[in-house]
Structure 1
Amino acid sequence: MTAGLEWDESGSYLRPGNSETRMRFASDPIRFVLERPVLVPAGERFEYCGGATALLGEVLARRSGKPLERFAEEALFEPMAIARYEWRRQDGKVTPFGGLRLVPRDLVRLGRLLLDGGRFDGRQVVPAEWIEESFAPRISATAGRRYGYQWWLGRSEAGGRWHDWVAAWGNGGQRLFLVPALDLVVVITAGQYNQPNQHVAPMQVFRRALALAYGSPSQ
């Protein structure tokens, strides 16, 4: 999210000028991203960019020598017994920047894997060092939050104390929150796709869950 490219993903994805929407409908999405003008040096400014995630997916596929979906199945889904999922496709390939749908139970499993240092059912699925590195703040983002490697990082108050959290956010209000200090995983699913206030209800639900986990009155 710090590629420094000309990119505008603000507002609804139904908006024709949305950069991710333009990428999705481009004849060559990867070329579309790579041809964006560079506005600032990489690493200097936060700008949410699904194109950067698309590039990461392409790198993973080329480096592994496998389609991204197959890589995800072998490296993550199968070791975690995740069998039910949907993943949006474009020209026969899954889209790295969105469209992956998991059932809540499997999202909780993913959260537990992350809080347990990459281990699931006694097996090391993801290197613990990589999880720690990916959770480290890399740049200031929006609304007082920070950003790691594809993770939102923030703080919320419960019981008179502030708690650091890590989160994955999806369009419509999908959320996976992790609170390492409380060993807490909170999964929220919703359907407020492309709504300007879609972030409000998930944060309210998370704050209530955080308050209950900490033992303070629900807010």
Structure 2
Amino acid sequence: MPKNPFSASLHLAIAIGLASAPAASLAQDSLPEPLLQGEQSNVPIAIQRLRWAMNDADVNALTFRSMDTLFTTRTVPRSGDVWQLQRRDHPLDFTYRYDGGTYTPEQFLDRTYTNALIVMKGDTIVYENYRNNSGPDTRFMGWSMTKSLTSLLVGMALEEGRIASLDDTIETYLPELAGGGYEGVTIRQILQMRSGVDYEERYDFANPGIAASNHINALVKNVSRFVEPAMNIRRAHEPGEVFAYKTIDTAVLGLLLERVSGGSTVASYMSERLWQPLGAERDGFFIMDGPVGTGREFTGAGYSATARDFARVGQMMLNGGLANGRQIVPSDWIELSTQPVAAATPDQHDYAMQWWTLGNGAYSAIGLQGQYIYVDPRRDTVVVKLSYYPPGNMTAQEETLAFFDAVSAWNPEQD
């Protein structure tokens, strides 16, 4: 695999990441200056401090699996029979190459800050490992892997006729977006991160712009909803012309799902349409944005679940939408949503509809600081890796992709 298979756009998106807060220590008697500005928050000061620092390298091995202690949450209940995944355990008896060196999978776990790793071949778990006091019942934050789950829900709403066409403009369903940058943008263009709205996914908290301010207000202080800037945002490019990774696009898709789900919440819709049919073994949960009673599920990056349940999602994708003996997601949606969009420029070839495409037919849900549901249909492989990368660490990102290529090529049944 090439040393650096990602485009510049993905490097930017993952390196800065959603909600990447500075690592500076916080005084015990005051909040960071950005939290003191604007509307006053009812969130306890201690919790605001923890949310501000939750991505820092010295605590994220813990915070990334403790989001229900830091945020108001909404449960996505499981129900019914658990999809019993087959297993046939094997040692990871191969090596991989990265940056001129050769390493073992055991070295990989340490070198890339791993909390949990599951490898599936066909429909069988062949390797499962938990570290740092985590285990099968631990629910890990998926960060922007949530975007890929949101895409699945949009596909279901389309199949059910709740959305008539991906080429409908978004204000057809969300009239409050008329008059701003989203007017005239199609649902398809939003899924592809080609909305053209003026929202730079940059989290410079010392000089907060629109994205950093939105994170602070919606997620740290809970004084506004994450989707609110979409109501009056400006346009930077014509819709469809330029790929630009931005979480506000997925927040708009979440608002769309709220509106078309028949009075349901996104959590309820996801439970009924995805989590229960999937045969999940544990409830999942969303963190909530905005004030209590006003905030809703943070569909851009706020879902937590067990590693095995994330693996079930990956296996369902590998099976063309089939899981637990049922066709859950239309197979044509699986194919459509994981096909890269024709690129306007050479560095914009690696994004589909809320899934990253990795070449050779492989694709992945990818979340901030090392969260992955990796699917390689050609080599019948699913890998779930939950991590705690230091903020902005692209070395671990690149090495992980090299490992995924090696584990896809590995045949555990071969002597």
Q: TM-score, normalised by structure 1?
A: 0.84
Q: 1:18 to 1:178 in 2, by over 3 A?
A: farther
Unpaired segments ≥5 residues, structure 2? 1-192, 219-223
Larger strand percent = 1
Give the Å deviation of 1:208. Answer: 2.2
Give the structure 1 partner of residue 234 of structure 2. Answer: 37
* SS of aligned partner of 1:48: coil
1:118-149: per-residue Cα shift (whole Å, max 9, x none)? Answer: 01121011111111111121254896642111
1:70 to 2:265 alignment: no
Provide the C-alpha distance between the structure 1 equivalents of 2:207 and 2:255, rounded to a whole number of angstroms: 24
Aligned to 1:93: 296
Aligned to 2:197: 5
* CA 212–98 in structure 1, closer or farther in 2 if over 3 Å, else same: closer
Partner of 1:153: 357
Q: Cα offset for 1:16?
A: 5.6
User: How far is 1:113 from its partner?
Assistant: 0.3
Distance in 2 (alpha carbons) for counterparts of 1:179 and 1:59: 30
- Cα pair 1:46 1:139 within 8 Å, conserved: no
Partner of 1:84: 283
SS across alignment from 2:374: strand
2:323 aligns to what? 120
- From 103, 106, 117, give the equivalent of 2:309: 106
Equivalent position SS for 1:189: strand
The 1:213–1:137 alpha-carbon spacing in structure 2 relative to 1, beyond 3 Å, is: closer
Moved more, 138-147 or 22-31: 138-147
Q: How many Å apart are 1:87 and its aligned residue?
A: 1.8
1:28 & 1:139 partners in 2: Cα distance? 33
- Looking at structure 1, the residues matched to 311 and 407 of structure 2 have their Cα atoms a distance apart, in angstroms, of 18
Q: Which amino acid aligns with 2:382?
A: V
Question: 2: distance between equivalents of 1:169 and 1:130?
Answer: 19
Please state how far the C-alpha of 1:177 moved relative to its aligned partner.
1.1
Per-residue CA deviations over 1:4-53 (Å, capped at 9, x if unaligned) read 011111356x5662544433415344331231110111110011110000
In structure 2, the residue matched to 1:196 is 392
Q: Which AA in structure 2 matches 1:52?
A: D
- One-letter amino acid of the structure 2 residue matched with residue 148 of structure 1: A
User: Aligned partner of 2:374: which letter?
Assistant: F
Sequence identity percentage: 27
CA–CA distance in structure 1, aligned partners of residues 379 and 272 of structure 2: 30
Structure with more contact order per residue of length (Cα contacts < 8 Å, sep ≥ 6): 2
Contact 2:341 2:349 in 1 (8 A): no
Give the corresponding residue for 1:159: none
CA change 1:209–1:133 in 2 (3 A) is closer
The aligned amino acid for 1:117 is G
- AA aligned opposite 2:302: G
Larger mean CA deviation between 27-36 and 138-147 belongs to 138-147
Q: Counterparts of 1:19 and 1:133 in 2: how far apart (Å)?
A: 31
Contact 2:355–2:365 under 8 Å retained in 1: yes
More deviation, 1-10/85-94: 85-94
Farther off after superposition, 57-66 or 134-143: 134-143
CA distance in 1, matches of 2:312, 2:227: 31
8 Å Cα contact 1:16-1:22 kept in structure 2: no
1:58 to 230, 249, 255: 255
TM-score w.r.t. length of structure 2 = 0.46
5+ residue gaps, structure 1, are: 156-162
Q: 1:28 to 1:106 in 2, by over 3 A?
A: closer
Asked if 2 retains the 8 angstrom alpha-carbon contact of 1:145 and 1:152, the reply is no
Residue pair 1:85, 1:100 contacting (<8 A) in 2 also: yes
Q: 1:16 to 1:183 in 2, by over 3 A?
A: farther
Task: Return the alpha-carbon distance in structure 2 between the equivalents of residues 32 and 196 of structure 1.
Answer: 25
Q: Is the 8 A contact 2:202 2:212 kept in 1?
A: no
Counterpart-to-counterpart distance in 2, 1:142 and 1:58: 32
Give the SS at the match of 2:408: helix
Q: Which amino acid aligns with 1:58?
A: L
